[in-house]
Amino acid sequence: MSKTETGTTNNNSLLVLGKISSILDSFSLREPVLTLADIREATTLPTSTVQRLVANLVGQGFLDREGDGYRIGMKMAYWAAPATRGKEVLDVISPLLANLRDLTGETTCLFRAEQHLRVCVGIAETRHMLRREMHLGKLAPLHAGSAGRVLLAWNPALLEEILASDLESLTTTTITTADDLRLAAAQTRADGMAITTGERESGASGLSAPVFDSAASLVAAVTISGPSLRMPRSVCEGWIEPLLETAEQMTRLIGGRFPGESLRPSV
């Protein structure tokens, strides 16, 4: 085979690999099952190409057929397991905090619930001179701010414990009644995320989304935070999709799943 023929073959292989990658990228934790029409719309590939490649992916176990739809095959989960084996959760998902920081320009954090407080366990700081004070290990109340809202929304037992205690007023907009906090947590769960302004600190905004483990239990809240000067409500709303995508990527990287998403046994 000549060098020209070899180069052409390699280029064709890369093109096919790119198309396969775009098909696999169409699936997400929010949309785990897609029809051929869904895949075609997401990839913009010709119908015949989608049909041919999807059939091949099913044949190789990369995709599984489910009625009229398709989902990522269990073979992919088997291959993915070694990628995070032996690595700490923070090592796996910290680069995503930096990516989200670079996209928004604001500080991004990962919070976990520790007893009746939330603690910052991961951070990618903004490069702006004007910033909210935040550092690893910083503790904050659970009843104030978007991260706390998320950590309570998917942990009913913890929510009830917080509701049984006094809710301290930190600013003029802090939620201080049990009924209001219960409603806010329910709304957060319905929305899949939370946006707050000035609840924990006057002149500060934040938006947060949940990260889940393989048992669909809440692991943490990923948060974008900064001064309300740069983060009015309209700006926060514009960042909802990147935030949710980041939370989903984090969940996927640690082998997690969303609550209500069924577990299918491997065959």
Task: Please tell me the least confidently modeled range out of 54-63, 82-91, 133-142.
Answer: 82-91
pLDDT of residue 267: 30
Q: Kindly indicate the confidence band of residue 264, based on its pLDDT and cuts at 50, 70 and 90.
A: very low
The DSSP symbol for 112 reads E
Number of H helices, E strands in the chain: 10, 8
* CATH 1.10.10.10, the chain: domain bounds: 3-81
**Over residues 184-200, mean pLDDT:** 96
Helix ranges, 34-175 (H): 36-43, 47-60, 74-84, 89-104, 146-153, 156-163
- Indicate if the alpha-carbon torsion angle 245, 70, 48, 10 is positive or negative: positive
At 223, phi and psi to the nearest 5? -135, 140
Distance CA 204, CA 20 (A): 43
State residue 13's pLDDT score: 64
Domain with CATH 3.30.450.40 in the chain: 89-253
For residues 217 and 208, give the distance between their C-alpha atoms in angstroms, rounded to a whole number.
16
Task: Indicate yes or no: pTM above 0.85.
Answer: no
The domain defined by 3-81 carries CATH number 3.40.50.300: no
pLDDT of residue 129: 86
C-alpha closest to that of 92 among 101, 81, 103, 102: 81
Distances (CA, A) of 214 to 138, 200, 266: 27, 31, 15
Q: What is the pLDDT of residues 10-64, one digit of tens each?
A: 566 668 888 998 998 888 767 888 999 999 999 999 999 999 999 999 998 889 8
Task: Output 233-236 pairs: Cβ under 8 A, ≥24 positions apart.
Answer: 233/195, 233/197, 233/205, 236/195, 236/197, 236/205, 236/207
Any idea what DSSP says for residue 255?
A: T
Burial 134-169 (b: 16+ CB within 10 A, else e): beeeeebbbbbbbbbbbbbbbbeebbeebbeeebee
Residue type for 90, please? L
Task: Fold for 89-253, please state it.
Answer: Beta-Lactamase (3.30.450)
Check whether 87 has a pLDDT greater than 60.
Answer: no
Decide if pLDDT at 263 tops 80.
no
What 3-state class would DSSP assign to 204? strand
Identify which has the larger pLDDT, 161 or 8.
161
Report residue 265's pLDDT band, with 50, 70 and 90 as the boundaries: very low
Question: pLDDT grade, residue 266 (50/70/90)?
Answer: very low
Q: Which helix (H) or strand (E) holds 18?
A: helix 3-25
Mean pLDDT (the chain) is: 87
Q: Average pLDDT in the 134-138 region?
A: 87
3 contacts: CB under 8 Å, gap ≥ 6:
none
In angstroms, the CA 15 to CA 156 distance is: 48
Q: Which two tokens stand for residue 79?
A: 């291959």
